[in-house]
Amino acid sequence: MLQTIFWSVGVSRFALSDRLAFSKSKTNALVASLLDVGLLEETGLQDSTGGRRAETVQISTRLGVLIGVDLGATSLEVAILQPNMQVLARHTEPADVRAGPGVVLARVRALMGQLLQQCKLASKQVIGIGIGVPGPVDFESGQLVNPPLMPAWDSFSVRDYFKEEYAAPVFVDNDVNLMALGELWRLQHSLQNFLVIKVGTGIGCGIVCHGEVYRGANGSAGDVGHICVDTEGPRCHCGNLGCVEAMAAGPAIARMATQAAQDGQSPALAASLQERGTLTPEDVGQASRNGDAAANAIIQQVGAKIGQMLASVVNFFNPSHVFIGGGITRMGPLFLASVRQSVYQRSLALSTRHLEIQYTPLAEQAGLVGAGVLAMQETLKTWKGRP
Amino acid sequence: MLQTIFWSVGVSRFALSDRLAFSKSKTNALVASLLDVGLLEETGLQDSTGGRRAETVQISTRLGVLIGVDLGATSLEVAILQPNMQVLARHTEPADVRAGPGVVLARVRALMGQLLQQCKLASKQVIGIGIGVPGPVDFESGQLVNPPLMPAWDSFSVRDYFKEEYAAPVFVDNDVNLMALGELWRLQHSLQNFLVIKVGTGIGCGIVCHGEVYRGANGSAGDVGHICVDTEGPRCHCGNLGCVEAMAAGPAIARMATQAAQDGQSPALAASLQERGTLTPEDVGQASRNGDAAANAIIQQVGAKIGQMLASVVNFFNPSHVFIGGGITRMGPLFLASVRQSVYQRSLALSTRHLEIQYTPLAEQAGLVGAGVLAMQETLKTWKGRP
């Protein structure tokens, strides 16, 4: 019941009885008793369809707070969230995940402390911690398994690291799975089968199947970065030729952009390169918006490769929606158009007839919200009546 | 409860109470009452782990029979099955699905009548009909949607066709989904996430996700035949280049084998071609078993292409098992070895660490059993206490 209420933000008691398949009076009685013990709180009045005003409830914010952590390959983000996923405090900064768990997690722990202090909260008020990492995770043990972008983390237990300081349970999952979980929560299960593709330093995919995040037999489902899109393509760090990750993720985009800048094909990219020394998808997007032909060509090429990979995945999975997130979204609308064109050309008509391809609606917050949702969802599963 | 019993063939009452999450006494009482009304029957004694002998129950065979139909692109199969999926009578013959629904279904209807007569059964004793077709099906309406191998069937309602003659409900699904359902039933849900690949005239995939057959947003999930395995490959009937179906399904194999026979590369295939005028995967398998080098080369090439497609699918879906069925299984063990080699080379270590690739354990019966399971499962959902 708490689980259903958590997944039904802003839903009236009336609609809630429907979702729980309980009678209205039983729902009212249960809600009343949960309000009494302080597990729920009322969130004001809402217009229901019948014109009457029905009260909505939510998990009580007085229960405590959640900490969400989103570790990327090149950045880290920490936030304090309320049980309704409202962000109380948040900090993001560049980081190199290859520095290893000792360095990176020490910084995360320091940031957790600072943010809690900022909110005038003590560590015992934290009821759950959710952490997303850019590699495959064995969900049961909370350990990373053979993470290609972060070899020093292999078999490291992120969960145990925070045990000393926090009594709250710690849950660890792959970053893209958490983006999918965040979107699923936002959508309140209104979509049952969709994908979230993250294109950053690597390429990964979160899968929602039958209304649940699907992790696969070994927790490695969604590892689409090594799908081959060109049998004659460049060699990937995995050893194979023409993986989409080697041809269309962040480093490949930076390489193509640098090439265009150095070859004199793009004055705009050359200027950015001179100014900052490196180029990102955002620079390419900016140059494209200013009409730079070389930047446009890079975006179309990258979009075509991602679209080709997606076409295979769409033929296989037939999702209703594909949401694209990660640093690549800064390349702008031309990128999305190129992806769509490539998918529609290569996928079957039936699979794409109602297919929507968009940027992630939660944008850069998807991973963090997902981390919070994971923490709250898993904490509720084992809730033993604390406060 | 009936659903659980149907999915638990040979399971003791004791184990059943576990699966139902009911107490032993509640399970016993419910089973007793269902035995009383004739919905269940006892199936003798079974050795339980404790050394005691526990009785097993099943859906009563006196309720009636099911009809299972497996339509392939080039064959049709009809069977009468008991509620425990035991086949009472069965008939298979070549057929051309392109002849259209009128011709093909008239033949199916005639065979249904003959087989019932053979079993001394009347049409009113049929409690459910399950039909597999080689194309995408909108499961709710029971209609085919844009089937590439059978254009004349587009929007045709197979379900309505049998309404006049049979009071029993008719359920239609894609043939590979039914193979997956058949294997799922045989496995009694012991595997939660697996794939069934059928390679015949086309290539399709049945998906089991979270212990249920997954059909996708529009019922076209598993359409893996048009995944690109060679960007420079031959043009497929779908319009794209290098689809795996154009390079490794039945017609491509026949073409390669004919070429090898005509070029003088394979005396064995030349002899078979002269004898029967056409070549099949079975001929290639036979020649290979006799040490024919050209046949071996064809098998390895086809296995590599199917394996390349499967590698993408395995990276994405991370199944625990992949079962391969259809006419291609007659190519023998070398084919399976080639597929495995190609998948293990191209998929990530984590996805393949525990991955099993085998021929479908139910072999040629998978589709028919799946049709029977569909009929029984869906019929039980709407059971209104008939007989």
Residues B115 and B178 in one domain: yes
pLDDT over threshold 90, residue B53: no
**Which range marks the domain in which residue B309 is found?**
189-361
Residues of B in contact with A312 (CB under 8 A): 227-228, 312-313, 316
Residues of B in contact with A139 (CB under 8 A): none
Sorted by sequence, the CB contacts under 8 Å of residue A315 that are 6+ apart come out as A347, A348, A351, B220, B223, B224, B226, B227
Smallest Cβ–Cβ distance between A351 and the set B205, B220, B354 belongs to B220
Residues A39 and A73 in one domain: no
Q: How close, in Å, is residue A237 to chain B by CA atoms?
A: 12
Residues B206 and B345 in one domain: yes
Q: What are phi and psi of A264, to 5 degrees?
A: 80, 10
Find the mean pLDDT for residues A262-275: 94
- The answer to whether position B337 is within a domain reads yes
Please give the residue that has the higher pLDDT: either A66 or B147. A66
Residues A113 and A179 in one domain: yes
Smallest Cβ–Cβ distance between B316 and the set A222, A231, A346 belongs to A222
Q: What are phi and psi of A355, to 5 degrees?
A: -75, 130
- B212 with A216: Cβ contact below 8 A: no
Residues B149 and B244 in one domain: no
- The answer to whether position B296 is within a domain reads yes
pLDDT for residue B65: 95
The predicted-structure confidence for A240-256, as pLDDT tens digits, reads as follows 889 999 999 999 999 99
Burial class (CB in 10 A: 0-12, 13-18, 19+), A323: buried
Residues A220 and A330 in one domain: yes
The predicted-structure confidence for A301-329, as pLDDT tens digits, reads as follows 999 999 999 999 999 999 999 999 998 99
Instruction: Give chain A's end-to-end CA distance (angstroms, integer).
Output: 18
Find the mean pLDDT for residues A111-131: 95
Q: How close, in Å, is residue A333 to chain B by CA atoms?
A: 25
Q: What percent of chain B has pLDDT over 90?
A: 62
The DSSP letter of residue A358 is E
pLDDT for residue A385: 53
Give the CA distances from residue A101 to residues A98, A107, A144, A150, in Å, rounded to whole numbers and listed in that order: 8, 10, 11, 9
Find residues 200-239 of chain B whose CB sits inside 8 Å of chain A: 205, 207, 209-210, 212, 214-224, 226-231, 238
Q: At B9, is the pLDDT very low, low, confident or very high (cuts 50, 70, 90)? A: confident
Q: Model ipTM?
A: 0.88
pLDDT for residue B110: 96
The mean pLDDT value of chain B amounts to 89
Of B262, B256, B305, B300, nearest to B280 by C-alpha is B256
Q: What percent of chain A has pLDDT over 70?
A: 96
Residues A207 and A326 in one domain: yes
With b meaning 16 or more CB within 10 Å and e meaning fewer, what string describes A114-130?
ebbeeeebeeebbbbbb
pLDDT for residue B145: 81
Q: How close, in Å, is residue A207 to chain B by CA atoms?
A: 9
Token code pair at residue B226: 């048009």
Q: How close, in Å, is residue B6 to chain A by CA atoms?
A: 23
- The answer to whether position A146 is within a domain reads yes
Residues B270 and B301 in one domain: yes
pLDDT over threshold 70, residue B386: no
Residues B53 and B162 in one domain: no
Residues of A in contact with B224 (CB under 8 A): 315-316
Q: How close, in Å, is residue A304 to chain B by CA atoms?
A: 13
Rounded CA gap, B97 and B85, in Å?
A: 26
Give the number of other Cβ atoms within 10 Å of residue A234's Cβ: 12
Residues B166 and B250 in one domain: no
Residues A338 and A373 in one domain: no
pLDDT for residue A369: 94
- A345 with B312: Cβ contact below 8 A: no
pLDDT for residue A50: 53
Give me the residues paired with residue A57 across strands.
A42
Find the mean pLDDT for residues B131-137: 91
Counting the structural domains of chain A, the total is 3
- The answer to whether position B387 is within a domain reads no
pLDDT for residue B385: 53
Domain with residue A26: its CATH number is 1.10.10.10
Find the mean pLDDT for residues A346-375: 89
Domain with residue B160: its CATH number is 3.30.420.40
The predicted-structure confidence for A156-186, as pLDDT tens digits, reads as follows 889 889 988 899 999 999 999 999 999 999 9
Token code pair at residue B385: 């206490």
Residues B40 and B151 in one domain: no
pLDDT for residue B209: 95
Find residues 301-330 of chain A whose CB sits inside 8 Å of chain B: 308, 311-313, 315-320
pLDDT for residue A384: 63
pLDDT for residue B47: 53
Inter-residue contact A247 to A305 (CB < 8 Å):
yes
- The answer to whether position B386 is within a domain reads no
